[in-house]
Amino acid sequence: MKLSMTDNGQQDQWVRPFLKKYKGLLMLAIFLGFLTFFSAGALMFNSGYLISRAASLPENILLIYIPIVLTRAFGISRPVFRYVERLVSHNWVLKMTSDLRLKLYRILEKDAMFLKSNYQTGDILGLLSEDINHLQNLYLRTIFPMIIAGLLYVVIVIGLGFFSWWFALCMLLLLGVTVVLLPILSVLVNGARQERQKGTKNQLYKILTDNILGVSDWVFSQRGSEFVLSYEEKEKELREIDGEIKKFDRRRDVVFQLFFGMIALAVLIWAGTRFPGNHGGAANWIAAFVLTVFPLIDAFAPLSDAAQETTIYKDSISRLNELPEVEGAKEAAASNPNSTKIEARQLTFTYQNASRTVLSNLSLEIPEKEKLAILGRSGSGKSTLASLIRGDLQPTQGEMLIGGVPADQLGDSITEYIGVIQQKPYLFHTTILNNLRIGKESASEEEVWHVLELVGLKKMVQQLPDGLQTMVDEAGLRFSGGERHRLALARILLQDTPVVLLDEPTTGLDPITEQKLLTTFFDVLEDKTIIWITHHLQSVQKMDRIIFIEDGQLMMSGTPEELMTGNRHFQMLYRIDQGLN
């Protein structure tokens, strides 16, 4: 039974690779699942034999003693196998989905780092919770039962083959209908209906939200009833599709039961001819074979529904497969940087899905401990340059080196070299202490108080009733924009990276707070490289060098004094900036 997971022909990165992982556990889960049904069948087989044997007055008590022991053994082993199988398969699925989530976080983290997010928060939540849950269900409810049923199917047919090849062939066909034909038919018939059902449901949601928002317009134009009518029509359509799906399910289930009835009858007839006799002797086997048929219903009945559900999972899987790949090899650094000098060599960068070149042939050297301001119009590529420095993006051409090593090859160890403060630093809903220890997990409370003092928050935190244990964002306690930035700075100080990248760290603050914050930043980061991306010129005179990016290139570059005295364009910008503030 082949499940077509991806329609678009692209390599599946989310289902098959993970089936290979934890292979041992997976095999064990499937084997235990098989044993559960095997025990159930064996129990009935034994019981059937035992009943007939007991009824036919056995000449020796041992003849029924062994079946009694076996009945007990299979009676106990069935629930035990089932229980252990549940434990193993859920363990496997949880391990696997935790890996899937990790993979997803890695992809999204890269995307979120510089807020160049291609996905909206809602999508991300959807991806995290729904799609991965769908995958989880796909394994537990579809793939496992199908493999187990497939195994049983093969074992039954081969097992019967030992008694009579023609009857094995007959079962191959009859069981084949329930294991192969009905599931395929379900996917074909109801798959398309489910697709339509989903489409109509989405449309309904859209119509409803649109119209609720604009409900007053409908009412004022006295066309309210028209709207209700059109809505009801769509709803009716949905109900009809629902009805069709259920009708098909019911009919299919009847056919399934009929087939199993036929299978039971066929086994009865076959066993009757194979083990002739009125009672006693070979005839004892008849009930054994016939009764074995019934527990198998449990294994085969859910298959059609399970196969049908693959339509629901297909969306999730293709959505996951559309995400960009992260290279697994990025964990380990290729080699260690020999310094923290940053160097862009004839760097050109174009976003994959865009035609415009953002940076073209840009060369730039940032020596250790330099204080560099990067200016430029909105959209000129400043944040893109920052992402390239942090190794989150790969140059299209040319190189971006940190201490001689390409930034994108540093992988996760980049966090030892470069710290980032964003426009809106994110604080997590946990204690102040935990929020700061993100920078350095092992930081002692003394270290934390020290950095809080450096960023000018010690007093404020001391005055809080719970001090460092105060929950951030707890009702009534909100940090102001400036305080958030200071906390972010404290984090970076704990992280103690030699390079700190500030991407417009003060946007949205009032000029006085901004001024104070920048002073703190530059004071405490004195002995580090600072790369400061900014829109306006306030405080730029504190920098060693200022560069302007325009049309993907360095337009101006020089010390503040040089630019101030020798560059008319800069003087003009400076005047405008001062005037605007």
Nearest distance from C-beta of residue 362 to ligand ATP, angstroms = 12
CA 528 to CA 498: how far, in whole Å? Answer: 5
Taking CB under 6 A as the criterion, the residue among 52, 89, 310, 380 binding ligand ATP is 380
531 binds ligand ATP (CB under 6 A): no
From the list ligand ATP, Mg ion, none, pick the one residue 78 interacts with, judged by a Cβ distance below 5 to 8 Å according to partner type.
Answer: none
How many residues bind ligand ATP, per CB under 6 A? 14
The three state secondary structure string of 222-258 is CCHHHHHHHHHHHHHHHHHHHHHHHHHHHHHHHHHHH
CA 554 to chain centre: 40
From the list ligand ATP, Mg ion, none, pick the one residue 380 interacts with, judged by a Cβ distance below 5 to 8 Å according to partner type.
Answer: ligand ATP
484 binds ligand ATP (CB under 6 A): no
Nearest distance from C-beta of residue 355 to ligand ATP, angstroms = 10
Nearer to Mg ion, 88 or 502 (CB): 502
Of the candidate spans 235-243, 380-388, 445-453, 560-568, the one that interacts with Mg ion by CB under 5 A turns out to be 380-388
Sheet strand arrangement including 529-533: 418-421, 499-503, 529-533, 371-376, 545-550, 553-558
Nearest distance from C-beta of residue 114 to Mg ion, angstroms = 8
292 binds ligand ATP (CB under 6 A): no
Nearer to ligand ATP, 320 or 375 (CB): 375
Nearest distance from C-beta of residue 568 to ligand ATP, angstroms = 23
* Number of neighbours of residue 580 by Cβ within 10 angstroms: 8
Nearest CA to 421 out of 519, 507, 523 is that of: 507
Taking CB under 5 A as the criterion, the residue among 46, 89, 308, 383 binding Mg ion is 383
Strand-pair category, 397-402 with 342-350: antiparallel
Residues 342/402, Cβ–Cβ less than 8 Å: yes
Amino acid code (one letter) for 266: A
Residues 482/506, Cβ–Cβ less than 8 Å: no
Phi, psi of 505 (to 5 degrees): -75, -5
Residues 380/549, Cβ–Cβ less than 8 Å: yes
166 binds ligand ATP (CB under 6 A): no
Nearest distance from C-beta of residue 294 to ligand ATP, angstroms = 59
CA 15 to CA 137: how far, in whole Å? Answer: 12
495 binds ligand ATP (CB under 6 A): no
Provide the 8-state DSSP code for 431: B
Strand-pairing partners, residue 344, are: 364, 400
Nearer to Mg ion, 43 or 549 (CB): 549
Nearest distance from C-beta of residue 387 to ligand ATP, angstroms = 8
Nearer to Mg ion, 127 or 386 (CB): 386
From the list Mg ion, ligand ATP, none, pick the one residue 508 interacts with, judged by a Cβ distance below 5 to 8 Å according to partner type.
Answer: none
Nearest distance from C-beta of residue 533 to ligand ATP, angstroms = 7
Strand-pairing partners, residue 428, are: none
Nearest distance from C-beta of residue 385 to ligand ATP, angstroms = 7
CA 294 to CA 261: how far, in whole Å? Answer: 9
Taking CB under 6 A as the criterion, the residue among 82, 90, 106, 116 binding ligand ATP is 116
308 binds Mg ion (CB under 5 A): no
Instruction: List alpha helices for 280-347, DSSP H.
Output: 284-300, 303-322
Structure tokens at 387: 């992402």
By CB under 6 A, name the binding residues for ligand ATP: 116, 118, 351, 353-354, 358, 376, 378-384
By CB under 5 A, name the binding residues for Mg ion: 383
